[in-house]
Amino acid sequence: MNGALRLPAALTSVADIQTRAHEIVLPAGNLPDALVWIHTTDGKLSSKQALDYLRPRALTLPWAEYIWRAAIPPSHSCIYWRLNHNKMPTDENLRRHGCTVVSICSLCLSTDESSDHLFFRCPFANHLWEWISNKLRCSINCSTAGTLLDCRPFQCSSQVSDIYLAAVVHTLHTIWWARNSLRFLEVTPTLHSAKVCIHSFIAMSGNVSTGKCLPSDFVFLDSFAVSPHRRMVRDIVLVLWKTPTAPWLKVNTDGSVIGGYAACGGLFRDHSGTFRGAFVCNIGTHSVFYADNGNHFCN
């Protein structure tokens, strides 16, 4: 006690215990002993963390969280989700689970129905995918459900990203809707009505989206009848910059993060305010906080 642990003499001979005991910091005052949960940073256990600890883990999937957006109706996202798990109740899947059904693709009447055929190979679906990829000005890889979302550009504003997602999800939904209305309601949906349907859904999602866009996206959004959500521009505030005293240089630094990539920079000025030098530095993937601090390391 009193700032250091006294171990029984027999234990001091064991090196491992000795080193471990030395690492323990004893409090100066009389603090009570505390039990600490090792999987959390604050050592406390909340119900959520308890659930997280007990929950069986699985690999995170790249598309999974992305498809559940506020702008997309969950019932539509659900079709994409189900298709990705290959559990759409198409004839092929029903047969696999032991249902005896006569299988024919309702949309083209040429071959039996499978998830792969109905959503990607059928002429009806193919036409819609081509049409939508022309509208998005990109090529959609419809070999499997997983590759559909690869069409969105690597870096784009959040509202545009929502449009790409909406296009894919609503097209899948419309194909499924067309198949069901043919099969159960015996209404023949035309390609035109399908396109109108997709277009209006995308417009709805795009307008509801909470994402923001850049001025360069206006034309793209306009082609989907979506009103652009501009980023709020803060008022410009004038600040005073004082010159340093004679032998000193003053350096002003800043850092920023765009799309996870951080960079920082700064410039030097002397007592008369003339520019003496500058630096910029790309510091890879980091947080804003790091980017701002990164300046000091660069110096």
Partner 1 sequence: MSVSRKHMIANMLGFNLGAVPFMYLGCPIFHGKPKAIHFRTIIDKIETKLSTWKGTVLSIMGRVQLVKSIIHGMLVYSFHIYLWPKRLLRLLDSWIKNFIWSGDVLAKKVCTVSWSVMCRSWAEGGLDIKSTRLMNEALILKLAWDFRTTESQWTAIVKRRYFTHGQPIMRYCQSSIWPGIRAHLGTIMANSVWVVGTGENINFWTNNWLGDPLVDLLNLDIDFHAHLKGTV
Residues that bind partner 1 (CB under 8 A): 1, 5, 11, 14, 16-17, 20-21, 24, 26-27, 30-39, 43, 45-47, 50-51, 53-61, 63-65, 68, 74-75, 77-78, 81-82, 84-85, 87-89, 93-94, 97-99
Between helices 158-180 and 191-208, what is the axis angle to 10°?
140
Which of 22-34 are b and which e, b meaning 16 or more Cβ less than 10 Å from the residue's Cβ? eeeeeeeeeeeee
> Nearer to partner 1 by C-beta: 79 or 107?
79
- Secondary structure class of 251 (helix, strand, coil): strand
User: Which two three-digit tokens encode residue 99?
Assistant: 């249902």
* Smallest separation, CB 68 to partner 1 (Å): 6
DSSP secondary structure letter of residue 119: I
> Nearer to partner 1 by C-beta: 64 or 187?
64
* Smallest separation, CB 69 to partner 1 (Å): 11
* Smallest separation, CB 118 to partner 1 (Å): 14
* Smallest separation, CB 17 to partner 1 (Å): 6
> Nearer to partner 1 by C-beta: 8 or 215?
8
* Smallest separation, CB 87 to partner 1 (Å): 5
> Nearer to partner 1 by C-beta: 38 or 102?
38
> How many CA atoms lie within 13 Å of 166's alpha carbon, on the beta-carbon side?
29
Which of 121-151 are b and which e, b meaning 16 or more Cβ less than 10 Å from the residue's Cβ? ebebbeebbebbbebbeeebebeebeebbeb
> Nearer to partner 1 by C-beta: 86 or 133?
86
* Smallest separation, CB 72 to partner 1 (Å): 11
> Nearer to partner 1 by C-beta: 99 or 280?
99
Cα–Cα dist 147/63, whole Å: 9
Cβ burial, residue 105 (10 Å; 0-12/13-18/19+) = buried
Between helices 191-208 and 123-136, what is the axis angle to 10°?
40
Q: Which of 60, 61, 107 is nearest to 80 (CA)?
A: 61
- Secondary structure class of 114 (helix, strand, coil): coil
> Nearer to partner 1 by C-beta: 75 or 245?
75
* Smallest separation, CB 264 to partner 1 (Å): 31
